Structure 1
Amino acid sequence: MNSQVEHSDHDEQMRRLFQDAVKDTTLAIEDSQQVTSLRFTDLLKVTKLKVKWSYCLSFQRSPLLVIELSASNCKIQVLDGLQQMAQLRDLDLSYNAISELSALGSLACLRELNLMRNCVSDVRPLARLTSLVSLQLSRNQVEDVSPLSGLKNLQQLLIFKNQIRDLKPLRHLINILQLNIDENQIEDVSPLRFLVQMQNLSAAKNRIRDICAFKFLKNLTQLNLSWNQLVDVSSIRYLQSLQLLLYRTQSHNKYRFHQKSQECCQN
């Protein structure tokens, strides 16, 4: 009985906090583990919202003007109602249990999206998010990245620790500056030769043997090729802008190359 009263009192405090925030544009609620059921209401002026709790978070009747939402590690499974936040530009849903992304398909204003460490396998709803500049999909179960081929504004794409084999769809992402494809099942990196603007590439722990395509990536400043099956790294000599190369071999040797000192160190 006392526990129910405590929960009721705490929920009432949270509702008052939400009501007090009606006139504010920024609201942060953290470590509210006593909240078991709370919906967004009457927050029509809030544009930046950060929530962090471990129970039930509902997006029904969500504040329509929110442009930044951080809801990391909230045990979210379903995104129903999120499509009402049509003005969202920055969305962090990392460390949840999300598998279905259809609610995101209508968020045309999104520029930054973080879905790291969820249960995502189907990324087709993201194909319509053509304003995206940064996309984080690491630590999911993605196999097919072809729906991402039309996201021409992407500058940062982090998709490490998935089940990706085919990089051909990424050849259209000509504005990419940073790409992380660590810990996938990639053998062929030749499609990356079209990403000539790229500055930072991490491709560790794959099945890569041939990196001839990298000689076209003249803007690369950082490159990680550790734990692959490389037989020839001579193409690296074409990378005149390269400042840092990390290359740990299968025989447990680790090489670091610093362009400024023109030295390759083994340790």
Structure 2
Amino acid sequence: MPTELDLTNFHLPDLTGVEIEPTLTAIDLTANRLRTIDPRILQLEGLRCINFRQNLLANVSAWSTCACKSALEDLEFRDNHLSTIPSLQGFTQLRRLDCSYNQIRNLLPLADLDSGSLEELYVASNKVTAIAALSQLTGLTLLELGSNRIRTVEGIDSLTGLRELWLGRNRITSIGGLATLTNLRRISLQSNRLTSMLGLEACTALEELYLSHNGISQLEGLAPLVRLKMLDVSSNRLTAVDPAALASLTQLEDLWLNDNRIPAIDAALDRALDPVRQSLTCIYLEGNPAAGDPQYKRKLLNMLPKLKQLDANFL
């Protein structure tokens, strides 16, 4: 008996005529035209993975009655017309949930999900205004809430196992609520309303930090982030690199400073880059007045002997 059903890109308006075997454990319904969930799917007890990506679902409340609560591990409603997340009470094995690209306004239904098994949660590109109802999801390692309407980083202090936090394209004005997230490896706060980098000091395991497209005017608060390998502060308001700012970042490999207001490739910049001279392999400086220097490439190669990429150009 079959265990997998793949109907990707069939453009089906419904599943009439499709045989739904009771032995199915994985179903992929990506890129169809489904407006409702077939009742036969709700009866599958052994279903472990189902993908409703790119359909026309507006109401999936029936999902809370499905028979696979003790088996389902991966659930995807990405790119539909949902205004709310269905109740997931009793889904004890769920490891991955994707509700991105919908019209969801809040995360409150997730309070019903009392499982510590959830590892990855994606609710990007919705209309969520606040981070709430997640405190019990202590097994989370990845949280994606980019492209929403969030103003404050809050309600995640219990998620101490988080390794990735994606909050780009929101309305966040300051960095906070991260003091307990000491296992974070990656964080994105791109395209927010930040004017300061302060608030990351406790995230000492960080390896990648993305802060582009904000209003940051100086590099600060980086001293504890000794494991940082990638720092993106492009498209901000930097007029200089403080000589002490990068002092502890001896593992830094990528530094993106493009589209700021750094005036020149001079002795001050040389001193500021000294701590990363032997580690940096990629630097972006285009879009600064400094990039107009006729000796732009030569000067940077002299400063950074390990450089392999300058802006978009591999050397």
Identify the TM-score tier after normalising by the shorter chain. 0.7 to 0.9
TM-score, reference length from structure 2: 0.73
Q: Which residue of 1 aligns with 2:95?
A: 89
In 2: Cα distance, 1:212 partner to 1:137 partner: 25
Please say if 1:50 is aligned against 2:20.
Answer: no
Q: For residues 175-234 of structure 1, give each alpha carbon's deviation from its aligned partner in whole angstroms, at most 9, with x where no partner exists.
A: 100001001111222221221110000100112123231122110111100011224423
Q: Cα distance 1:149–1:166, how it changes in 2: closer, same or farther (>3 A)? A: farther
SS at match of 1:248: coil
Greater Cα shift, 110-119 or 182-191: 182-191
Q: CA deviation at 1:98?
A: 1.0
SS at match of 1:179: strand
Q: For residues 116-168 of structure 1, give each alpha carbon's deviation from its aligned partner in whole angstroms, at most 9, with x where no partner exists.
A: 10111122111221211000000000112111122111000010000111212
- Report the residue type matching 1:246 in the other structure: W
More strand by share: 1
SS at match of 1:27: strand
In 1: Cα distance, 2:188 partner to 2:13 partner: 46
Q: Which residue of 2 aligns with 1:261?
A: 306
After superposition, residues 201-240 of structure 1 pair within 5 angstroms as: 201-233=209-241, 234=243, 235-240=245-250
Q: Which residue of 2 aligns with 1:245?
A: 255
Please say if 1:148 is aligned against 2:156.
Answer: yes
In 1: Cα distance, 2:231 partner to 2:140 partner: 24
Contact kept? 2:145, 2:167, Cα under 8 Å: yes
Contact kept? 2:13, 2:32, Cα under 8 Å: no
After superposition, residues 6-25 of structure 1 pair within 5 angstroms as: 10-14=14-18, 16-17=19-20, 20=21, 22-25=22-25
Q: Cα distance 1:43–1:264, how it changes in 2: closer, same or farther (>3 A)? A: closer
Q: Cα distance 1:13–1:136, how it changes in 2: closer, same or farther (>3 A)? A: same
- Report the residue type matching 1:29 in the other structure: L
Q: CA deviation at 1:9?
A: 9.0
- Report the residue type matching 2:252 in the other structure: L
In 2: Cα distance, 1:260 partner to 1:139 partner: 38
Contact kept? 1:57, 1:74, Cα under 8 Å: no
Q: Which residue of 2 aligns with 1:31?
A: 31
Q: Which residue of 1 aligns with 2:265?
A: none
Greater Cα shift, 151-160 or 250-259: 250-259
Please say if 1:117 is aligned against 2:125.
Answer: yes
Give the length in aligned residue pairs. 255
- Report the residue type matching 1:37 in the other structure: T
Q: For residues 69-123 of structure 1, give each alpha carbon's deviation from its aligned partner in whole angstroms, at most 9, with x where no partner exists.
A: 1221021112233334232111111111111222212322211001110111122
Contact kept? 1:106, 1:128, Cα under 8 Å: no
Q: Which residue of 1 aligns with 2:147?
A: 139
Q: Which residue of 2 aligns with 1:189?
A: 197
Contact kept? 2:108, 2:133, Cα under 8 Å: yes
Q: CA deviation at 1:263?
A: 7.4
SS at match of 2:17: helix
SS at match of 2:231: strand
- Report the residue type matching 2:152 in the other structure: D
- Report the residue type matching 2:133 in the other structure: P
SS at match of 1:103: helix
Identity %: 21
In 2: Cα distance, 1:36 partner to 1:222 partner: 43
Contact kept? 1:199, 1:219, Cα under 8 Å: yes
In 1: Cα distance, 2:152 partner to 2:132 partner: 9
- Report the residue type matching 1:93 in the other structure: C
